[in-house]
């Protein structure tokens, strides 16, 4: 579950949600809980790095996750021991 920082204002949440909605629209996919959690987490990270506009955040999300398949986690790889 996403732990939104309580110091976020409504306008901040609106910026983040607009960026995530734009990612879904760009990729022509229906939102899922898992994908939304991942995208929101990434958007929060980018926001905390100083990227503050929905356009900038959406562009970075689209670049980082260039297709719905890029959101899938390979269970074998993610649990591998290094």
Structure confidence by residue, pLDDT tens digits, 18-48: 999 999 999 999 999 999 999 999 999 999 9
Tokens for 13? 């949440």
The per-residue pLDDT of the chain, averaged, comes to 85
pLDDT confidence band for 75 (50 / 70 / 90): very low
Q: Residue 74 falls within a domain, yes or no?
A: no
Res 74: pLDDT: 55
pLDDT of residue 2: 52
- Does a structural domain hold residue 77? no
**Residues near 13 by beta carbon (within 8 Å), at least 6 away in sequence:** 4
Instruction: Residue 31: give the domain boundaries.
Output: 10-68
Domain assignment present for residue 33? The answer is: yes
Residue 63 lies in a domain: yes
């Amino acid at each position: 579950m996403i732990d939104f920082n309580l110091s976020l204002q409504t306008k901040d949440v609106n910026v983040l949600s607009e960026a995530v909605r734009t990612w879904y629209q760009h990729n022509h996919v229906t939102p899922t809980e898992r994908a939304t959690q991942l995208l929101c987490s990434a958007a929060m990270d980018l926001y905390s790095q100083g990227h503050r506009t929905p356009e900038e955040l959406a562009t970075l999300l689209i670049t980082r996750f260039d297709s719905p398949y890029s959101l899938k986690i390979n269970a074998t790889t993610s649990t591998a021991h290094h």
